[in-house]
Structure 1
């Protein structure tokens, strides 16, 4: 059974792209909102702009998911795979730098 990109993986990819695109602007608004030397009206406007970001522009929406199956638990972040898919690919020799141990 071939695994394709399911909705969870696509949603996670979209969230990662949006967070990366809006990160500089988000950090600027945070810096202005927390700067107590600025007038309160300016800080308030910066906070309002932060609240207007979409849910995909917030870093808390980014989750580690398996890129093959979309599973959200047991992810090996270096390869982006869950434990089971990592095992399957390692046994087939499809992962660079991973070899089966010989005892």
Structure 2
């Protein structure tokens, strides 16, 4: 069952419920971002009537929570962990250490001084 979901959601690496939920949040955010930007522009534009700005603010607050950028969490693509994820490689520190020592990460070598 999880392999079917992986193909359908185009996910690679470790898959659990949290990874699927985060993937869904990213897709929903991507779809609704232009609309959110337009509403934020209307709210900040002081030359527009106050009623239109208030209506845009109401629309923005009533949008689903998954459309907010703060809902997206950086997760490790190898282990699905959300803590201590290195952004450049999108993996957690333990996975980073293992892959670096195995020579699987290009341009990364153990420090020695």
Q: Return the TM-score normalized by structure 1.
A: 0.83
Q: Which residue of 1 aligns with 2:74?
A: 64
Q: Which residue of 1 aligns with 2:63?
A: 53
Q: Which residue of 1 aligns with 2:53?
A: 43
Report if aligned partners of 1:65, 1:73 keep a CA contact under 8 Å in 2: yes
Q: Distance in 2 between matches of 1:51 and 1:64?
A: 24
Q: Distance in 2 between matches of 1:96 and 1:8?
A: 29
Larger deviation: 44-53 or 73-82?
Answer: 44-53
Q: Distance in 2 between matches of 1:76 and 1:34?
A: 35
Q: Which residue of 1 aligns with 2:26?
A: 16
Quote how far apart the aligned CAs of 1:99 are.
3.3
Answering whether residue 108 of structure 2 is matched by residue 98 of structure 1, we say: yes
Number of aligned pairs? Answer: 101
Q: Distance in 2 between matches of 1:102 and 1:75?
A: 23
Q: Distance in 2 between matches of 1:28 and 1:44?
A: 14
5+ unaligned residues in a row in structure 1: which ranges? none
Structure with larger RCO (C-alpha < 8 A, sep 6+): 1
5+ unaligned residues in a row in structure 2: which ranges? 1-12
Q: Distance in 2 between matches of 1:83 and 1:39?
A: 51
